[in-house]
Amino acid sequence: MANETTDVLIIGTGFGGSIPGYYLAAGGARVIMLERGPRLSSEEFTQSLQVGGYTRILDSIGGTGISVTAGNCVGGSSVTYYAASLRAPSFVFERQGTIGRRIWPASITRSTLDEWYLRAEEALPVSELSWNDVPYAGGVFAAACTRAGHTCQPVPVAVDLTRCTNCNWMANGCLFDAKRSMLLNYIPGAEAHGAEIRPLHEVQAIHRAQTAGYRWAVEYRQLDPNNYNVAVGSGRIEAKIVIIAAGTMGTPVILQRSKKYIGRIPVAVGRHMSANGDRITLAAVNEGKVRDLLGLERAPGVPYDAFPIGKPISSMSFDYLDPNAPEFSRFALQQLFAPPLTNAIFEDGVDGPPVWFGIDKRDLTSRWRSWLTIAAFTEDANEGVFGPPPAAGNFTRIGPAAVGQLRYDIAPETQHGFDLSDEATRSIMTLDGLATLHLVKSTKNIQCAHPLASCRIGDDPATSACDDRHELRGHPGIFVTDASSVPTSLCVNPSLTIAALAERASSILLKRAPLYGVQVSGPVPPP
Amino acid sequence: MIEREDERLAKSTGDSVRLSRRTLLKRTAALAAAWTVCPWPISVPSAFGRDREFGREPDHQAITQTLEAFADTLIPGEKRFPEDRAIAGAVSGAGAVQAGAIAMLNFPPVGFQPALPGIATLLNVRAVLYALAHGISLELKLPPFVELDFASRTALLVEILDGDGPDQGAFYGLASVCFVAYHSAGYLPTADAIRDGHPGLAAIGFPPPNPDGVWRFPDFSYRRVLAVPHPDSQHGNPA
């Protein structure tokens, strides 16, 4: 039986898949998008911490030295993200990391990317928060920054503020369609132009096509919606163009497994992974000090007591983003809600073992409503490396958890950034006893919510898997447009940069598609 | 009653006790003999293949007691009844056990259930080794980990969970599930758990939903200008 065919086959439906999916479909290409996760409508999202609910769409992947969370549904991580939508600072694009030369392609700077940032901001769209929109936790962080002599500002978010209920359940998917995920813009736009989205289709490998006029064949297996370890079907689709957007944790694995079918793959596939320099700490604030030092009270006699209330991200300080400071010493600090699922990880703050469990830890968690978690986005050294792929899928699933092949041995440069950001957070939050600071101590694994760069773009074939057009080196017609193509950590939340790069790549794809036999017409306006 | 053998011996000899390899081996042999007649059949006999030989089911009560003691060491609670041995009673109020740690560990989507007998076995073996190394006598009327006092249970879990042993990952996973039971009631819909007074969610102060079971917070902001933005920022973005 002949394989199914299409012009463009896209693997993944997050930012990196949905954006080119929209532009190519709107340009007239036949587009099929395969998504390994399920498709949920907003009514199906839950406000619940019950395992088996949110875990349908959110993966927790344990590696060696790293723990990663990533979306697993139609819309990808745009469904589970916290919607902070920031442009990366200019110096990020000039970074040299540990290789001693510019990592990003010469064609991409902050100023050349700004037009694509703007398109993504308008298409999502992104809202600027006023201080009236900043929840209590962001307010305490901002006031603490001010008192410590720092600037701080509201964070732009991809949220419809007229719909937002400040429920703080963003990681579960938004019940109110307030959070602007791909489900509300690019995906419906793509489908309106004929793109077909197939959930629960997990891509295994890419092969060479057998049908004349088609270059690649994508092998997939259909998954049981109640058990992602069980395949209920399989198939192949041949395409003229393949866009891999399976995420930083998926894209390199698919390519590694494809090696025996498509020939040698670039050495940078599965190497140079960045954890975006993510570093989370906990400040347990003293309610009396919030009142006395910061002058805040949200109700009579209640200074704060509001950790679970609000949008999960709302304020941040750019004071440590000095472009003239040495690399690995720059970072942003951001107020960021951590759900109680993560309560285990923080130290109790009392001398002596046990450090993260027992009586003292129980006492600390009894003050949970007075917690304030802070994310630092530092500059890491791209030290993540993927081991050989599993027999099937992107990682091995065990119940709601997964074990991956990623190894992340913290480099001294990365640790230096962590140490500096810890100290900065401490200087702001513990000033005059405002709070006590608690580091992650239950595990040596770094906690990463923003995996990047496992199949990155660049000008140097030795250290980048794709060229500056996002095309996989040595494999014409295969493009990588997701977070794995972002070359370095960004010192801010990465979603808007992923979207901007995907916007830029889409414009290139529209121009190059005819070279691969796909007739499209442009330009295409944003959705 | 648990007696610290090192203290007893120290009194008699007037010196601190250092267990020699020979002493350890002798004690292990004695304990192995005791296991063949002791009344807690959980997993150690299983480890020696005795369960299969006699077609016996694992002792679910002993497994549960062991796991309860593990959970109680992580997030302590008060005893449920005066003779409660699994819960050490180190604090007042509810702990992980009352918050449903056992239900959580057995909750099918967690996927841990098949591993529980084995991991309980492992924990009890580690408890025996800990007792041997620290000169603690065990009566063996209960699973060894349950026989340890709270301080010893804690010290052993520090050794296991903060160590680099090959079983660290398995025990860390077990611990994570216990934390999720207490802090998130992860085996229940959250709204139902709060309605029914889940002690962990109550202890951390997780807010209740609106009457329709949905969370909304109309009052969420101080509505005050609380900082000045960075001078180089534009529309909330860094330069």
User: Of B69, B95, B77, nearest to B174 (Cα)?
Assistant: B69
Which chain A residue is nearest to residue B203, measuring alpha carbons? Answer: A366
Secondary structure element (H or E) that encloses residue B173, with its range: helix B168-184
Query: Least CB-CB distance to A152: which of B157, B213, B227?
Result: B227
CA distance A308 to A306: 6
Cβ neighbours of B233 in A, within 8 Å: 151, 153, 318
pLDDT for B56 equals 52
Flag if B183 and A365 touch (Cβ within 8 Å).
yes
User: Looking at CA atoms only, how far is residue B116 from chain A in angstroms?
Assistant: 14
- Which member of A142, A332, A365 has the closest CB to residue B204? A365
**pLDDT surpasses 60 at B7:** no
Interface residue of A46, A49, A320 to substitute, partner B, most B CBs within 10 Å: A49
Residue-wise pLDDT for A47-101, tens only, equals 999 999 999 999 999 999 999 999 999 999 999 999 999 999 999 999 999 999 9
Per residue in B48-93, pLDDT tens? 333 334 445 668 899 999 999 999 999 999 999 999 999 999 999 9
Tell whether B197 lies on the interface with A, counting CB pairs under 8 A.
no
**Considering only CA atoms, which of B111, B222, B8 is closest in space to residue A131?**
B222
Backbone angles phi, psi at A323, to 5 degrees: -65, -20
Distance CA A103, CA A271 (A): 14
Token look-up 């909750």 returns B107
Mean model confidence pLDDT for chain B: 83
Exposure letters A306-322 (e unless 16+ CB within 10 A, then b): bbbbbbbbbbbbbbbbe
B208 is written with which tokens?
């209740």
Tens of pLDDT, residue by residue over A425-455, are 999 999 999 999 999 999 999 999 999 999 9
Cα separation, B196 vs A78, in Å, equals: 33
Tens of pLDDT along chain A (527 residues) come to: 568 999 999 999 999 999 999 999 999 999 999 999 999 999 999 999 999 999 999 999 999 999 999 999 999 999 999 999 999 999 999 999 999 999 999 999 999 999 999 999 999 999 999 999 999 999 999 999 999 999 999 999 999 999 999 999 999 999 999 999 999 999 999 999 999 999 999 999 999 999 999 999 999 999 999 999 999 999 999 999 999 999 999 999 999 999 999 999 999 999 999 999 999 999 999 999 999 999 999 999 999 999 999 999 999 999 999 999 999 999 999 999 999 999 999 999 999 999 999 999 999 999 999 999 999 999 999 999 999 999 999 999 988 889 999 999 999 999 999 999 999 999 999 999 999 999 999 999 999 999 999 999 999 999 999 999 999 999 999 999 999 999 999 999 999 999 999 999 999 999 999 999 999 998 999 99
Q: Which residues of A fall within a CB distance of 8 Å from B196?
A: none
pLDDT at B20: 52
With a cut of 60, say whether residue B130 has pLDDT above it.
yes
Interfacial A residues in 52-111 facing B (CB < 8 Å):
52-53, 55, 86-90
**C-alpha distance from A268 to closest chain B C-alpha (Å):** 30
Q: Which helix (H) or strand (E) holds A70?
A: strand A66-71
Q: What is the DSSP string of A130-142?
A: PGGGSBHHHHHHH
User: Cβ separation of A47 and B191 shorter than 8 Å?
Assistant: yes
pLDDT higher than 80, residue B171: yes
Which parts of chain B are beta strand (E)?
3-4, 136-137
pLDDT per residue over A484-517, tens digit each?
999 999 999 999 999 999 999 999 999 999 999 9
Q: What is the DSSP letter of A436?
A: E
B114: three-class secondary structure by DSSP: helix
Contacts of A85 (CB under 8 A, 6+ apart): A120, A121, A124, A126, A156, A157, A158, A493, A495, A496
CA-based nearest residue to A377, from A349, A427, A335, A439: A335
CB contact under 8 A, A155 and B228: no
**CA-only gyration radius of chain A, Å:** 22
> Which residue is it, tokens 């009566």?
B139
Statement: the pTM of the whole predicted model exceeds 0.95: no
Q: Which residues in chain A are closer than 8 Å to B158, comparing Cβ atoms? A: 353-355
Using an 8 Å Cβ cutoff, are A165 and B215 in contact? yes
Contacts of A139 by beta carbon, 8 Å cutoff, 6+ apart: A131, A296, A314, A315, B221, B222, B224, B226
CB A16 within 8 A of CB A39: no
Residue A186 CA to residue A19 CA, distance in Å, equals 6
Q: Where are the beta strands (DSSP E) in B123-189?
A: 136-137
The DSSP 8-state label assigned to residue A89 in this structure reads P
A166/B231 touch (CB, cutoff 8 Å), yes or no? no
- B217 in reach of chain A (CB within 8 A): yes
Residue (of A341, A340, A336) closest to A400 by Cα position: A341
Predicted confidence at residue A399, as pLDDT, reads 82
Residue of B nearest to A166 (CA): B217
Residue type for position A167: C
C-beta atoms of A332 and B173 within 8 A: no
What is the reported pLDDT for B22? 53
Interface of B with A in 88-107 (CB under 8 A): 90-91, 95, 107
User: By the CB < 8 Å criterion, does B230 face chain A?
Assistant: yes
In this predicted structure, the answer to whether residue B12 has a pLDDT above a threshold of 90 is no
Nearest by CB to residue A340, choosing from B75, B109, B184, is B184
Q: Quote the pLDDT of residue B6.
A: 39
Rounded CA-CA distance A61/A401 in Å is 6
Secondary structure element (H or E) that encloses residue A4, with its range: strand A4-11
B216 vs B22: CA distance, rounded Å: 66
**Residues contacting residue B1 through CB under 8 Å, at least 6 positions apart:** B139
Q: Do B109 and A315 touch (CB under 8 A)?
A: no
Q: What token pair was written down for A239?
A: 């395409």
| Cβ proximity of A258 and A206 under 8 Å | yes
Average pLDDT over residues B30-58: 40
- Are residues A66 and A248 in contact, defined by beta-carbon separation less than 8 angstroms? no
What is the spatial distance between Cα A307 and Cα A336, in angstroms, rounded to a whole number? 10
**Are residues B73 and A358, on separate chains, in Cβ contact within 8 Å?**
yes
CB atoms within 10 A of CB A461: 14
**B17 pLDDT above the threshold of 80:** no
CA distances from A300 to A13, A307, B226 (A): 47, 17, 19
pLDDT of the residue at A431: 98
Angle at B218 between CA B214 and CA B223, to 5 degrees: 150
A230, with CB counted inside 10 A (0-12, 13-18, 19+), is: exposed
Cross-chain CB nearest to B227 (options A143, A155, A296) = A143
Inspect the interface and report whether the beta carbons of B239 and A89 lie closer than 8 Å: yes
User: What own/partner pairs with CB < 8 Å and gap ≥ 24 does B110-113 have?
Assistant: B110/A51, B110/A399, B110/A400, B110/B177, B110/B186, B110/B187, B111/A398, B111/A399, B111/A400, B111/A401, B112/A399, B112/B173, B112/B174, B112/B177
B185 touches chain A (CB under 8 A): yes
Contacts of B176 in chain A (CB under 8 A): 344
Nearest Cα to Cα of residue A371 among A447, A435, A283: A283
pLDDT for residue B229 is more than 90: yes
Closest alpha carbon to A328 in A95, A28, A22: A95
The candidate with the shortest Cα–Cα distance to B184, out of A46, A172, A169, A341, is A341
- Cross-strand bridge partners of residue A299: A302
Cα B17 from Cα A350, distance rounded (Å): 30
